[in-house]
Homo-oligomer: A and B are copies of this chain.
């Protein structure tokens, strides 16, 4: 997924505000659904961040064109883990490991049903 850095993404330091890289990665996750004509908000639930680790390697600035690559690391019973990297000119500038939990629309954690698991494997596994 291609992402352009706009004014709103930057801060007074002249570079992308640190939490906006998480937004870029969330856009990329949603886009994987959208591109297949699916909605990441399923009838039976949706996914929320449970845990994440982020590494800031170098920074992006206004006008930069970034790419986000997403890889499935592990599928569990009620969550799954992704590795996402943000690239600029093919060089990694940000890395995110994120665990996403499956919750009901009342925000209760729930098991990922086999149907949903299959869908996720199809979407995220290459």
* B56 & A12 in contact (Cβ 8 Å cutoff): no
Secondary structure of the A contact surface, majority rule: mixed
Given the known A-B contacts A48-B13, A54-B52, are A6 and B26 also in contact in the complex, defined by CB atoms under 8 Å? yes
**Closest Cβ neighbor of A21 among chain B residues:** B19
Interface size class of A (residues with CB under 8 A): 35 or more
**Copies held by the complex:** 4
Interface string of A56-93 (1 = CB under 8 A from B): 10010111000000000000000000000000000000
A4 cross-chain contacts in B, Cβ below 8 A: 27, 30-31, 34
A39 cross-chain contacts in B, Cβ below 8 A: 62-63
Residues of A within 8 A of B (CB): 4, 6-8, 10-15, 17-20, 22-23, 26-27, 30-31, 34, 39, 41, 46, 48-56, 59, 61-63, 107
